[in-house]
Amino acid sequence: MKQTIKIAVVSALIIMGVVASGCAQNLVQSLSVNLTIHDPDRNRTITVTTSSLIRYLVGSSVPNGRLYLVTPVGNTPGQTGDLNAFLRITSGGRTILEVTSPDQFNLYQDTAALRNFNSTTLLSFALNRFSIDSGSVRWELQGLGGWIIYKKTVHGVDISGSGMFTAHVNGWIQIQGVVGMAPVTGTIIATIPSPGA
């Protein structure tokens, strides 16, 4: 009887380990947006902040809304091409909307130059493109991103698949009911990534 229980417990632990290893964690980081639109039709500028972008994407105000960049941990520092990241909007810990990749959102890295800063930190200078086509918001932005990538694990997860960054961007934007296609400049900032679902 004891042997049967031991076998059952060991089997359950093995199954749990296989399931857990099959569910790769993502890296999640808070994203801040600060853009200035130059409206060609109304001779004005429009400021787009993180909260107003959330409102435009969702279609209504989101109390305590947060915008996150979610990136799979399989990415390597300095990787070029599609980084497979998507946007997540939450309120009170509850997911309100995901702007999925690659059909609605795309973070693309054309080129990157990595530099060792110290034994646990890489610096990356990259040409980044941020694309959105969510229906209510469309934009094509690009610019130089300065990344700080930590080569370490957090709760057993390697967080070097992403990094904190500040990207100085420009391009065009279109927001349904607000502005037609217009030139835009600004910054997109991401905090230190941490493991998440």
The DSSP code sequence of 85-105 is -EEEEEETTEEEEEE-TTTTE
Q: At residue 29, does pLDDT exceed 50?
A: yes
Least confident residue range of 7-21, 28-42, 77-91, 133-147? 7-21
Q: At residue 45, does pLDDT exceed 50?
A: yes
Q: At residue 6, does pLDDT exceed 60?
A: no
pLDDT digits (tens, 9 = 90+) for 123-134: 999 999 999 999
- The full DSSP string for 40-66 is TTTTEEEEEEHHHHHHHHHSS--TTEE
**Phi and psi angles of residue 132, each rounded to the nearest 5 degrees, phi first:** -130, 135
pLDDT for the residue 3: 52
* Contact by Cβ (8 Å): 90, 65: yes
Q: At residue 16, does pLDDT exceed 70?
A: no
pTM: 0.86
194 vs 25: CA distance, rounded Å: 10
pLDDT for the residue 197: 84
Dig out the tokens for 121 from the structure: 């930190």
Higher pLDDT, 4 or 37: 37
Kindly state the greatest CA–CA separation across the chain: 82
DSSP 3-state percent helix, strand, coil across the chain (nearest 5): 15, 60, 25
